[in-house]
């Protein structure tokens, strides 16, 4: 922990490369090869994701920002002043900046797995809000989160924007929301952004942009493994593949081997047939009712929900049942 500014604290609980090792090897060993999407977010990956959020085809970010601008004061009214706000997967800080215009907080705790990205974006918030205690926590929030001691405030809000909840299988999403519910206590609120079910063509375009940025983002995972896990993927021998799996209600991203090949990762050998895939991401889409039903299973009830006029994206305010 270090203090760059008197109101800025950085808690570095980033998983070590060794922690990724077991997950990566297990993911590539199985019958259907897979890698966890949290591995996208090294520095390069965070920058590519940031570029995705500005693509014309990628509607979620700008739609959610529009909802925050339009309904921020209502959201702030439900959340209440003077508490602690934890943001899961904070990434860049545009969204919290909008909320901070409507909401007076005692402390803000952005949580993200991308270390330098977090340091910069959280530090900027601390600089611009000298009366706000900013405790950035670099960690993997898909695992149980240990909060620093200084967080014993009465009122806690969890802000989970971007529809990152969509990366989790519904069962894991329920578990994560259960852990969040325990964090919130009786007075707390969860503000969560959830991408809505919609026209499959629109979804397809959002994950197959014409500039190929999403493809770079997907392929960067292999570059990262080459660098950090002593792998020897030939990145040019894989291609990006993304489609909407309608029966399962999710966009899937894959990396497809374009030729038959053998890859070494940290001394372990993996065979790929031509056309074989590594499943790198799911992005589940929920109707408002589907999501409320899932939240109810986690012990959370809906207090309000906002969506844009085109019904592209939703933000739910939930509290402990």
- Say if CB 235 and CB 219 are below 8 A apart: yes
Stretch that binds ligand AVJ, among 18-26, 105-113, 159-167, 285-293 (CB under 6 A): 159-167
Chain centroid to Cα 204, Å, comes to 19
Stretch that binds ligand AVJ, among 66-74, 94-102, 157-165, 254-262 (CB under 6 A): 157-165
Q: Which residues of 35-54 are buried (b: 16+ CB within 10 A; e: fewer)?
A: bbbbbbbbeebbbbbbbbbe
- Say if CB 282 and CB 288 are below 8 A apart: no
Q: Which is nearer to ligand AVJ, 83 or 161 (CB)?
A: 161
Give the CA dihedral 137, 141, 146, 150, nearest 10 degrees. 40
**At its nearest, how many Å lie between ligand AVJ and the CB of residue 281?**
6
121 lies in the site for ligand AVJ, by CB under 6 A: no
- For residues 280-299, which are near ligand AVJ according to CB under 6 A? 281, 283
- Give percent helix, percent strand, percent coil of the chain, each to the nearest 5: 40, 25, 30
Stretch that binds ligand AVJ, among 1-9, 145-153, 164-172, 261-269 (CB under 6 A): 164-172
Choosing from 108, 117, 141, 207, the residue that interacts with ligand AVJ (CB under 6 A) is 207
Chain centroid to Cα 300, Å, comes to 20
Helices 115-128 and 43-53: crossing angle, nearest 10°? Answer: 60
Q: Which is nearer to ligand AVJ, 166 or 188 (CB)?
A: 166
Choosing from 35, 52, 134, 255, the residue that interacts with ligand AVJ (CB under 6 A) is 52
Helices 43-53 and 59-79: crossing angle, nearest 10°? Answer: 90
**At its nearest, how many Å lie between ligand AVJ and the CB of residue 166?**
5
Residue 130: closest CA among 105, 158, 110: 105
d(CA 138, CA 258): 36
Stretch that binds ligand AVJ, among 21-29, 130-138, 162-170, 223-231 (CB under 6 A): 162-170
Q: Which is nearer to ligand AVJ, 8 or 141 (CB)?
A: 141
Choosing from 121, 142, 163, 220, the residue that interacts with ligand AVJ (CB under 6 A) is 163
Choosing from 214, 220, 292, 314, the residue that interacts with ligand AVJ (CB under 6 A) is 214
């Amino acid at each position: 922990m270090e203090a760059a500014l008197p109101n800025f604290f950085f808690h570095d609980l980033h998983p070590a490369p060794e922690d990724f090792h077991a997950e990566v090897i297990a993911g590539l060993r199985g019958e259907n090869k897979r890698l966890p999407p949290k591995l996208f977010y090294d520095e390069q990956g965070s920058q590519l994701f940031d570029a995705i959020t500005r693509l014309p085809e990628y509607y979620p970010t700008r739609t959610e920002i529009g909802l925050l601008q339009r309904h921020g004061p209502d959201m702030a009214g439900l959340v209440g002043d003077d508490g602690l706000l934890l943001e899961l997967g904070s990434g860049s800080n545009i969204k919290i900046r909008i909320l901070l215009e409507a909401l007076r907080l005692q402390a803000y705790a952005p949580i993200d797995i991308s270390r330098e990205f977090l340091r910069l974006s959280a530090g900027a918030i601390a600089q611009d809000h000298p009366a706000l205690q900013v405790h950035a926590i670099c960690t993997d929030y898909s695992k149980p989160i240990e909060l620093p001691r200084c967080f014993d405030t009465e009122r806690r809000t969890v802000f989970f924007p971007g529809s990152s909840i969509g990366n989790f299988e519904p069962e894991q999403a329920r578990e994560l929301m259960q852990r969040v519910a325990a964090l919130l206590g009786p007075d707390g609120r969860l503000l969560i952004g959830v991408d809505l079910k919609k026209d499959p063509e629109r979804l397809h375009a959002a994950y197959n942009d014409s500039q190929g940025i999403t493809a770079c983002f997907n392929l960067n995972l292999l570059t990262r493994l080459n660098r950090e896990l002593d792998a020897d993927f030939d990145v040019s021998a894989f291609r990006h593949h993304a489609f909407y799996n309608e029966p399962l209600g999710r966009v899937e991203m894959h990396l497809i081997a374009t030729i038959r090949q053998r890859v070494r990762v940290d001394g372990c050998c993996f065979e790929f047939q031509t056309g074989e895939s590594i499943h790198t991401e799911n992005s589940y889409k929920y109707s408002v009712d589907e999501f409320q039903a899932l939240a109810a299973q986690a012990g959370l009830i809906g207090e309000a929900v906002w969506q844009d006029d085109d019904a592209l994206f939703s933000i739910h305010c939930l509290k402990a049942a």
